[in-house]
Structure 1
């Protein structure tokens, strides 16, 4: 039985590191986007990735393609490390300087917008996995012109709302903030900087203060001047859970579930591993099935360090699923070891 015991030991030793990877990697996945007030990418996804309704969302798809909408929860910088203002150049705030999301940077006054009022407001941020970190919300200054590319100087220097590790309720981070007084069209810019990784996520939410929600004579994105109130912004709507689930298998960001069957695997600065993919940290790299990361993001070497994160109710099923796979693999190896021992007469 010496051969059997040795082979069995090898099998157990071989699957142990895999077990650690499975249990440690899954809770670390994290992506998301603002849904109240609705971010540009969430509003366009809600209209339908393949054929959005509004002119602004159609222009976004024309500029960057439909895949950006299926990857609605991936506007990010994997190596931000709290240095967003120095890493993201003016004019590319909404895309986080990513070529894939360049359509979000289009300067136009007809993006779908949410009505907003000064004072207390409950903000909601759809998180496809929980993570520790800090949210900062910035608002544009008086005199903001949506017909010009968004610059850091267009935003107030300090966030009007800031919260660390807010409560996760039914898949949404929910937190309170006091909205400053404004009039007309403005923009809320959010930065979600993880504390367990350098990765940060970004959103642009177009908002309108006042009764009619019109553009009040602002220039439209196509360069033509609009008459006062003639080109009211379409109302922004957050995507439903059914819509998100329906498009999940087309996402390369592997949200809702870990691993996208038709997109292969990818790695990003979230220091996590999707099902079937390698563990990672640092900047985004992707498998050969997806090609290289779009221009605009750096390509630091990927390591196998896993960020320490807090799991939630999804951790259990993921761990159980991983354990089942490991058990199956171990049983196969054990059977092979027995056959080998029998052949050797041991």
Structure 2
């Protein structure tokens, strides 16, 4: 009888410990990727691009420090959000990334798929300068640091599928668009790089 009671108490203790551990793990915050123009992460997930490493299974996870361009991921690591497991996203691959065709100066609808929407500060869109170095990993000096489109959310929670319409800058040839989704109540943002051609 005494042995059965000890086993029962041990079971209660293990159950309480398991409950404590499961409730102390932080909840998952926002995650997402751009589908228009298709991001490098999404191309990898689709299998359109091979040899992508881990990002092919989690295109929604390019999460790094917020505050771009003043802070955030280091230059040369913007597409991977500074995460070494996603470093393949920073490789220009000699211009082999597929591009989305855009019309210079025209209106375009940018789209995100959010697998875990979260309280949001804003979405911002940046584009490379004319004459940027297409052979080098993306840096701040290659980008126009004033976003050409900003969509404020003021802490609101976006839908799982969200679209933002705005006018793209006048450009010719191959460029990159960096989309930044800033989370309102964490220290992070999500970074998505898309290759485009005008």
What is the TM-score normalised by the length of structure 2?
A: 0.79
Shift of 1:68: 2.1
Q: Is the 8 A contact 1:40 1:204 kept in 2?
A: yes
Shift of 1:85: 4.2
Alpha-carbon distance between aligned partners in 2 of 1:123 and 1:87, rounded to the nearest angstrom: 22
Higher relative contact order (CA 8 A, sep 6+): 2
Instruction: Indicate the residue corresponding to 2:61 in structure 1.
Output: 74
SS at match of 2:59: coil
Q: Is the 8 A contact 2:44 2:55 kept in 1?
A: no
Cα deviations by residue, 1:212-242 (Å, 9 ceiling, x for unpaired)? xxxxxxxxxxxxxxxxxxxxxxxxxxxxxxx
Shift of 1:155: 0.5
Q: Is the 8 A contact 1:188 1:204 kept in 2?
A: yes
Tell me whether 1:113 sits opposite 2:103 in the alignment. Answer: no
Shift of 1:177: 1.7
Stretches of structure 1 lacking an aligned partner (at least 5 in a row): 1-9, 210-346
Shift of 1:119: 2.2
Alpha-carbon distance between aligned partners in 2 of 1:181 and 1:167, rounded to the nearest angstrom: 32
Shift of 1:131: 1.2
Tell me whether 1:161 sits opposite 2:149 in the alignment. Answer: yes
Cα deviations by residue, 1:264-320 (Å, 9 ceiling, x for unpaired)? xxxxxxxxxxxxxxxxxxxxxxxxxxxxxxxxxxxxxxxxxxxxxxxxxxxxxxxxx
Tell me whether 1:172 sits opposite 2:158 in the alignment. Answer: no
Instruction: Indicate the residue corresponding to 1:187 in structure 2.
Output: 176
Q: Is the 8 A contact 1:167 1:175 kept in 2?
A: no
Greater strand fraction, Structure 1 or Structure 2:
2
Change (3 A) 1:106 1:81: closer
Q: Aligned residue pairs: how many?
A: 179
Instruction: Indicate the residue corresponding to 1:100 in structure 2.
Output: 85
Q: Is the 8 A contact 2:125 2:150 kept in 1?
A: yes
Shift of 1:89: 2.0
Once the two structures are superposed, the pairs formed by residues 335-346 of structure 1 within 5 Å of their partners are none
Alpha-carbon distance between aligned partners in 2 of 1:172 and 1:187, rounded to the nearest angstrom: 22
Q: Is the 8 A contact 1:37 1:205 kept in 2?
A: yes
Shift of 1:81: 4.0
Alpha-carbon distance between aligned partners in 2 of 1:128 and 1:201, rounded to the nearest angstrom: 12
Shift of 1:149: 2.0
Change (3 A) 1:37 1:167: farther
Root mean square deviation of aligned Cα: 2.7
Tell me whether 1:144 sits opposite 2:132 in the alignment. Answer: yes
Shift of 1:86: 3.1
Shift of 1:29: 3.0
Shift of 1:129: 1.4
Q: Bigger radius of gyration, 1 or 2?
A: 1
Tell me whether 1:130 sits opposite 2:108 in the alignment. Answer: no
Alpha-carbon distance between aligned partners in 2 of 1:97 and 1:190, rounded to the nearest angstrom: 15
Q: Is the 8 A contact 1:124 1:172 kept in 2?
A: yes
What is the TM-score normalised by the length of structure 1?
A: 0.47
SS at match of 2:109: strand
Instruction: Indicate the residue corresponding to 1:42 in structure 2.
Output: 42
Alpha-carbon distance between aligned partners in 2 of 1:151 and 1:93, rounded to the nearest angstrom: 7
Instruction: Indicate the residue corresponding to 2:194 in structure 1.
Output: 205
Change (3 A) 1:83 1:180: closer
